[in-house]
Amino acid sequence: MAGNASKYAAGHGNEGTVTKSSSVLPPFSEPQRSTAQRFVRHVFVDMAGLWLDHGWDAAGSHNIERLQAADLAPVLVGYRRSMAVARQLFFFSQAWRITGNEKYAARAHALYADLTGRFWDHQHHGWFFSLKTGADAQAPADPRKDAYGHAFAIFALAEYGAIFGKSAALDWSQRTLVAMKQHLLLPQGWYAQSASRDWRERDMALEQNPHMHLLEALLALHAATRDSAISQEGVLRDAGDIVLLFMQRLRADDGTRVLEHFDAAGRPDGENGRIVEPGHSYEWAGLLLDYAAASGETQYRQIAMPLLAWADMHGVDPQHGGIYDQLDTESRVVSDRKRIWPMTECVKLQAMRAIAMAEPAAYAALDRRIAFLAQHYLTPGGGWREFLRRDLSPDSDYLPATTPYHIATAALKVAEAYGIKVTS
């Protein structure tokens, strides 16, 4: 499978190019490109260096879940989640691909060994939600099997396998998908959000977020194995099933909003069923564009547009800027905190628009979003502010190991949009 796997194998130092005729001016200015270059470097040099130096427990040979923002000391939370390990595996794999820094490759290999060597349940199969730290390290802290964590395992293992040409990682990714379909896929057409260790007890409620990230994972696995029959006949079909679920249940009737929480019958779950997260509108819009490109079903490009328009109109704070964490189905603000990840998803989607449109206005909008992210969220030395208040004042004092995944996905699209190359 390794021969089919390596979508990144050639030229790992080139994270994307913009091909222009020598007689045609690019649709962006050099100052805009410089802003983008600083952002990409912040992520794959400064941020990766920060987590390389401070995000690893050498004695236990495992990652650290959370750091204090002030001094980068570990926050002792008492557990390590498989999802966090998977996200870090993706982050360091991409950091190596972008920069060629072998220290990042070594960390990616260590994270892969940690995930596959410790989190897999050899008795019942599937990934433990979390393990303990300290004296009881490697014992399950929470032995449940959750769809969200399994989706990220598929995603990270597919990306790692493709970047490093590791067929064993792709086997793990496919093995995870088999376990999900065997134990979590319900007759109703959606995946149970979690199950007990032995899979016998399942939470049957329909949750949007695990399905969105499963689609992301399936597209990554398809890209890594696109020349194989299993990808064309299986993985892409599974991705199509998630898209169909989105069309039928996970979006509002008018197609403008992504709904979050449903009960076991697939109905909006009371007041929770009225919650809408603008960040997920940007994520779904991007995934629908990616699915359209992978499947050739181009109608999904247009289906993505109302989600994007709604998020731009209602999710962005018109007074202070930034993106609200939560609204309701009537577009009223529920939570006016502004976590970093919705902003990075907005940046990523705008970068995709700039690539597709190749017009100065699209790049000007992208430049404004990158500048806002850099000014209000990013901090010197590779750090960031996880939460802001409505007035953009800081509202958190820690750095989760899961967030570099979000920032990196934005930086990857920005690098592609501007043809940026980075050396560490």
Answer yes or no: are the C-beta atoms of 323 and 342 closer than 8 Å: yes
Answer yes or no: are the C-beta atoms of 151 and 213 closer than 8 Å: yes
Q: How does pLDDT run across 171-204, given as a tens digit for each residue?
A: 999 999 999 999 999 999 999 999 999 999 999 9
Q: How does pLDDT run across 341-360, given as a tens digit for each residue?
A: 999 999 999 999 999 999 99
Tell me the C-alpha distance between 81 and 187, whole Å. 28
* Chain mean pLDDT for the chain: 93
Q: Which of 135-149, 218-232, 296-310 has the lowest mean pLDDT?
A: 218-232
Domain locations in the chain?
A: 2-418
- Whole-model pTM above 0.75? yes
**Widest CA span of the chain, in angstroms?**
65
In the DSSP assignment, the letter for residue 97 is H
Tell me the C-alpha distance between 400 and 347, whole Å. 20
Q: What is the pLDDT of residue 128?
A: 98
Among positive and negative, which fits the CA dihedral 243, 244, 245, 250?
positive
Q: How far is CA 147 from the centre of its chain?
A: 15
Tell me the C-alpha distance between 289 and 352, whole Å. 9
- pLDDT of 230 strictly over 90: no
The class that CATH gives domain 2-418 is: mainly alpha
Q: How does pLDDT run across 2-23, given as a tens digit for each residue?
A: 334 445 433 333 333 333 444 5
Q: What angle do CA 362, 8, 173 make, to 5 degrees?
A: 105
Report how far apart, in Å, the C-alpha atoms of 69 and of each of 44, 156, 257 are. 18, 26, 34
| Lookup: tokens for 371 | 């500048």
Say if residue 382 is exposed, middle or buried (CB neighbours under 10 Å; 0-12, 13-18, 19+): buried
In the DSSP assignment, the letter for residue 13 is T
| Lookup: tokens for 53 | 């130096």
Answer yes or no: are the C-beta atoms of 138 and 132 closer than 8 Å: yes
Element (H, E) at 138: none
Report how far apart, in Å, the C-alpha atoms of 383 and of each of 50, 219, 238 are. 8, 29, 37
Q: How does pLDDT run across 130-168, given as a tens digit for each residue?
A: 999 988 888 999 999 999 999 999 999 999 999 999 999
Q: DSSP for 16-33? A: ------TTS--SS-HHHH
